[in-house]
Chains A and B, each alone.
Chain A
Amino acid sequence: MKKFALLSTLLLVGSAFAAAPRDTLVVQQAADIPTLDPGVTYDTASGAIVENMYETLLTYRGNSVRDLEPLLATRVPTATNGGRTYTFDLRRNVKFHTGNTMTCRDAEYSFERNLVTNSAESGNWFISESLLGTGSNANDDKTITWARIDRAVECNNAGQLVFTLPKVDPAFLAKLAYTGQSIVDSKHAIAIGEWKGTEADWKSFVGKDLTDSALNKQPSGTGAYRLVRRDANATLLQAFDGYWGKKPAIRNVIIQKVPEIAARQQAFLRGDADLIEGGGRSVDEQQIKGKPGVVWLDNLPNTVGTAIFMNQRIQDPGLLGSGKLDGRGIPANFFSDVNVRRAFSHAFNYQQYIRDVQQGKGKQRTMLLPDSFPGYDPEVKTYTFDAAKARQYFQRAWGGNVWKNGFTLTANYRAGSVPAQTAMEILKRNIESLNPKFKVNVQQKQWSEMLADSKNGKEAMIVLGWAPDYADPDNFIHTFYHSSGYYAPRSNFKDASVDKWIDQARATVNTAQRNRLYSLVGNRAYEQAPYILVPAGVNYTFHRNNLQGVSAATYNPMTSFEDTGTLWKDLSKR
């Protein structure tokens, strides 16, 4: 008995130390952190740490995704030279974690490094598009020379950073707020074996994957937190004493890797973790919401746009059945008839999707653009679930042959994606209930296969989403609606007017004019119905009630640290 009592005491003493201390933020997540090098940061798990260790020239103001404010710059510049030149004054007396003072040369080095390397894994293609006119690196595009890179970003005699663009890019400033465009400590980077910053060794760094770079192992930024240690179990950071800004209230940050959700939930409910990666709305609402010590924050903005694609030129004969409108298949251009697309758009039960998949927390958008983004027009009409209208459009489609003969369509969804599967099944049930000759086969497919096949236009109907790289409408509108956009081979939607408006919007920095053009695109897209717009989920988050600084007023969806939508320096614990 005595032995048992001793053992129990020891165990209890051990567990008494477990709770997260007041000056320490404890985060448990399943996601791994691929890199801490801003030059290749292109995922939220890496971004969530990099954005706290490094800083960009500009950032988003509060919870806005429309307004930018200076961070390492002293003001947001206006373009000169017909919209092609941006000149930045940089903040003075800013220290890197190594103790080096930030100069204009560091900023120049950082951008040139991104242009030189521009590896496939990175998001540097979009800054390269702005500064070099192409998303490729010098290996893929031989017109890229060192002289072009050097000219694109330079420090002038007054110590200002000057960007010279080959043509106007209204999204340029928003791109600068992206974590991947953070300013790195050039002296330190060169000292530990990174690119020297000159023409001498630039060729050997072209296309280089920086995921495991020297800078990934020994980062040095100007951010409020510096890396202490990283091992298989945890990433530890500490407030940087030489930070130029306000001293953070949270001294230590621990990002623990806990792959099993049950273990994370237990830690969170016991207060050992302040924040955890959840398991999706239905799981979290059931197992976390309303529990003691938990603060639940709902109705947060979501910046992902999701659509059901209707490919107007299906390249895979295997998906076409008979390949004719004889009830046993579809022709390759089945969706090229606008009546078919409108019929499908009216056959999707949007409210049922919101109810079944999003637990009632969803919103029908008017365009494939987040409603918090500039350029979003809430006045554009939306499709509603209407069986009568769907029937009418089907009766008009293909001269009445669709309705008369019926069709067999094969739709694929990404294996393991319950929302995509549910969306397809809702659509299948509604379509098949309209006419006994209509048949929709729904089947799952591995992501890698779907990536390859959809890129080649082989998929007939799939569900795909897009999350923003930067908060500019072009990042969505061009992707989905332009005939040379990233998703164009998957939808084969081509509309001369839409192309023209998107190109015009790309060529002006006049916000009012751009908004008008995007409204035109939205209205035309409603008429042409190239996609079924899947309702957008409403975001939520939860945290322990002693954590302060998390609210809708401070939550910015462009922040990679989605747990709070803020930087760690803006949090505190009581």
Chain B
Amino acid sequence: MLNFIVRRLIQVPLVMLVLSLFIVGLTQLLTPEQRAAGFIRSDQQAARLEQIIEERGLRDPFVVQYGNWLGSTLRGDLGFSRASGQDVLQTIRERLPNTVELTLLTALPILLLGVWLGTLSALHKDKLIDQVLRVLTILGYSLPSFVLGIVLLAVFYGYLGWLPGAGQVSIVNQFALGDLRRYTGLLSLDAALNGRWDIAWDVLQHLILPAATLTVINAATIVKVMRNNMLEALTSDYVRTARAKGLSSRVVNNKHARRNALLTIVTLGGFLIINLLSGSLITEFIFGYPGVGLWMVEAGLRLDIPAVLGFGLLSALIVVIVSTVVDILYGVVDPRVRFD
């Protein structure tokens, strides 16, 4: 097991190197003018286009440009992100915990809800509850997150006023944030550790709508897959054998059928967490939630190349780590898969 983890971690720098070559290489398909456009915000600045290209070395050969980037990166400098107005590393340091916080609050409900409803649906195949769940799944599956997000925002914030709007904390708490000692980077947790329960509650309230949006959209897929897996498991030989042995339905369904049905969910769960940690782009954008997803949308729109590269490397790191965890979990769920 340890060997497996070490092998995986050794792959990380290699994956990142290839990825960075790929991204920097792709940017070379753009003209120097197109790349310089990322530095321009007005017609007046456009008048300085040639100087910007010159100063940034955007006409230099690929090897030189990549070498410059790699040299800085190896020195720990990932460059300046114009989309965040900060260094890339600082941006990640500041925003990733916010995305982690959203992921923590979202991933578990999605998985639990998905597994529970999927099981429920399969066990009541073609009954009313199954029909209702299937309709809801299709709705959740086909609803674009920007539509659902805006509707939830308009209803629960705009119309009912039950929940706060965009951002991470309310106006009254904005100034108090500066006094908080940061332990974990997770704002709600840090606020609680500082004894500021009001801020912690405020942060959690701000997380409800984005988390609900992500839950509805993502849980639908899990429900769908879980239902299909359960139906398949329930008709398999080993379940029939278990029933024939006189085991109770509860034990057969939960221990025998569901455990096997969970295998695909582990894989899906890995992808889900990768997606959530890499930033739920649209949801963070709609709710003005200051995570890495919002940063990435803006970086993409502005052709912020240092940010795109930094985000690419971060994503690669997340993919390798989460994939490793998923592979280990596979072994836990399925005794046939072991790494020792």
Chains A and B belong together in one complex? yes
Count the B residues whose beta carbon is within 8 Å of the partner chain — how many? 66
Please pick, from A32, A211, A233, A270, the residue contacting B80 in the complex, using a CB distance under 8 A.
A211
Contacts of A20 in B (CB 8 A): 171
Query: For the complex, is B114 an interface residue (Cβ under 8 Å from A)?
Result: no
Instruction: Give the contact stretch, choosing among B233-241, B257-265, B286-294, B320-328.
Output: B286-294
Query: Across the interface, do A10 and B201 meet the contact criterion of CB distance under 8 Å?
Result: yes
* Docked pose: A455 CA to B50 CA in angstroms: 10
Residue of B nearest to A254 (CB): B174
Query: For the complex, is A11 an interface residue (Cβ under 8 Å from B)?
Result: yes
Query: For the complex, is B45 an interface residue (Cβ under 8 Å from A)?
Result: yes
Contacts of B43 in A (CB 8 A): 464-467
* Docked pose: A267 CA to B167 CA in angstroms: 11
Taking CB atoms and an 8 Å cut-off, the chain A residues in 391-434 that contact chain B are none
Query: Across the interface, do A260 and B33 meet the contact criterion of CB distance under 8 Å?
Result: no
Known A120-B48, A257-B288: A272·B165 in contact at CB below 8 Å: yes
Residue of A nearest to B84 (CB): A232
Query: Across the interface, do A212 and B80 meet the contact criterion of CB distance under 8 Å?
Result: yes
Query: For the complex, is A43 an interface residue (Cβ under 8 Å from B)?
Result: yes
Known A121-B52, A228-B175: A14·B205 in contact at CB below 8 Å: yes
- Rounded to whole Å, the gap between the CB of B213 and the closest CB of chain A is 12
Query: Across the interface, do B164 and A446 meet the contact criterion of CB distance under 8 Å?
Result: no
Query: Across the interface, do B171 and A254 meet the contact criterion of CB distance under 8 Å?
Result: yes
Residue of A nearest to B159 (CB): A266
Q: Bits for B46-61, please: 1 = Cβ < 8 Å to A, else 0.
A: 1111011011000000
Contacts of A42 in B (CB 8 A): 41-42, 44-45
Q: Bits for B87-111, please: 1 = Cβ < 8 Å to A, else 0.
A: 1000100110010000000000000
Query: For the complex, is B311 an interface residue (Cβ under 8 Å from A)?
Result: no
Query: Across the interface, do B298 and A467 meet the contact criterion of CB distance under 8 Å?
Result: no
Contacts of B15 in A (CB 8 A): none
Size category, A interface: 35 or more
* Docked pose: A320 CA to B162 CA in angstroms: 61
Query: Across the interface, do B294 and A32 meet the contact criterion of CB distance under 8 Å?
Result: no
Contacts of B287 in A (CB 8 A): 260, 263
Query: Across the interface, do A32 and B52 meet the contact criterion of CB distance under 8 Å?
Result: no
Taking CB atoms and an 8 Å cut-off, the chain A residues in 1-25 that contact chain B are 8, 10-12, 14-15, 17-21, 24
Known A15-B161, A121-B48, A212-B80: A259·B294 in contact at CB below 8 Å: yes
Taking CB atoms and an 8 Å cut-off, the chain B residues in 63-102 that contact chain A are 80, 82-87, 91, 94-95, 98
Instruction: Classify the interface of chain A: helix, strand, loop or mixed.
Output: mixed
Please pick, from A28, A256, A447, A448, the residue contacting B31 in the complex, using a CB distance under 8 A.
A448
Known A42-B44, A263-B165: A32·B153 in contact at CB below 8 Å: no
Taking CB atoms and an 8 Å cut-off, the chain B residues in 139-190 that contact chain A are 150, 153-154, 157-158, 161-175, 177-178
Query: For the complex, is B314 an interface residue (Cβ under 8 Å from A)?
Result: no
Q: Bits for B264-298, please: 1 = Cβ < 8 Å to A, else 0.
A: 00000000000000000000011110100011011
Query: Across the interface, do A232 and B98 meet the contact criterion of CB distance under 8 Å?
Result: yes
Query: Across the interface, do A15 and B162 meet the contact criterion of CB distance under 8 Å?
Result: yes
Contacts of B37 in A (CB 8 A): 447-448, 451
Residue of B nearest to A451 (CB): B46
* Docked pose: A43 CA to B202 CA in angstroms: 34
Contacts of B161 in A (CB 8 A): 12, 15, 270
Query: Across the interface, do A232 and B177 meet the contact criterion of CB distance under 8 Å?
Result: no
Contacts of B202 in A (CB 8 A): 14, 17
Query: Across the interface, do B174 and A236 meet the contact criterion of CB distance under 8 Å?
Result: yes
Query: Across the interface, do A18 and B33 meet the contact criterion of CB distance under 8 Å?
Result: no
* Docked pose: A291 CA to B223 CA in angstroms: 43
Query: Across the interface, do A32 and B85 meet the contact criterion of CB distance under 8 Å?
Result: yes
Residue of B nearest to A447 (CB): B37
Query: For the complex, is A231 an interface residue (Cβ under 8 Å from B)?
Result: yes
Residue of A nearest to B178 (CB): A229
Residue of A nearest to B40 (CB): A451
Query: Across the interface, do A266 and B154 meet the contact criterion of CB distance under 8 Å?
Result: yes
Query: Across the interface, do A233 and B168 meet the contact criterion of CB distance under 8 Å?
Result: yes
Please pick, from B31, B85, B298, the residue contacting A452 in the complex, using a CB distance under 8 A.
B31
Contacts of A266 in B (CB 8 A): 153-154, 157-158, 165
Known A232-B91, A236-B174, A254-B171: A260·B47 in contact at CB below 8 Å: no
* Docked pose: A123 CA to B51 CA in angstroms: 13
Query: Across the interface, do B84 and A32 meet the contact criterion of CB distance under 8 Å?
Result: yes
Query: For the complex, is A35 an interface residue (Cβ under 8 Å from B)?
Result: yes
Q: Bits for A357-398, please: 1 = Cβ < 8 Å to B, else 0.
A: 000000000000000000000000000000000000000000
Query: For the complex, is B116 an interface residue (Cβ under 8 Å from A)?
Result: no
Query: Across the interface, do A452 and B33 meet the contact criterion of CB distance under 8 Å?
Result: yes
Residue of A nearest to B162 (CB): A11
Query: Across the interface, do A258 and B86 meet the contact criterion of CB distance under 8 Å?
Result: no
* Docked pose: A184 CA to B150 CA in angstroms: 43
Contacts of B290 in A (CB 8 A): 231-233, 257
- Rounded to whole Å, the gap between the CB of A120 and the closest CB of chain B is 4
Query: Across the interface, do B55 and A119 meet the contact criterion of CB distance under 8 Å?
Result: yes
Query: For the complex, is B131 an interface residue (Cβ under 8 Å from A)?
Result: no
Residue of B nearest to A7 (CB): B162
* Docked pose: A44 CA to B168 CA in angstroms: 25
Query: Across the interface, do B178 and A43 meet the contact criterion of CB distance under 8 Å?
Result: no
Query: For the complex, is A234 an interface residue (Cβ under 8 Å from B)?
Result: yes
Query: Across the interface, do B286 and A234 meet the contact criterion of CB distance under 8 Å?
Result: no
Residue of B nearest to A12 (CB): B162
Q: Bits for A238-250, please: 1 = Cβ < 8 Å to B, else 0.
A: 1000000000000
Contacts of A230 in B (CB 8 A): 85
Residue of A nearest to B156 (CB): A11
Query: For the complex, is B27 an interface residue (Cβ under 8 Å from A)?
Result: no
Query: Across the interface, do B165 and A32 meet the contact criterion of CB distance under 8 Å?
Result: no
Query: For the complex, is A34 an interface residue (Cβ under 8 Å from B)?
Result: yes
- Rounded to whole Å, the gap between the CB of B37 and the closest CB of chain A is 4
Report 11 cross-chain contacts, Cβ distance below 8 Å, ordered by A residue.
A24-B171, A32-B83, A34-B82, A216-B85, A256-B166, A257-B290, A260-B286, A260-B287, A448-B30, A451-B37, A467-B43
Closest 9 CB pairs of A and B: A120-B51, A232-B290, A448-B37, A452-B33, A266-B158, A263-B166, A258-B288, A448-B34, A233-B290
Given A12-B162, A18-B170, A232-B98, output 20 extra A-B contacts at Cβ < 8 Å: A14-B201, A14-B202, A15-B163, A17-B172, A17-B202, A18-B165, A123-B44, A232-B84, A232-B290, A233-B167, A233-B290, A236-B174, A236-B175, A257-B290, A259-B285, A262-B286, A263-B153, A449-B31, A451-B49, A467-B42
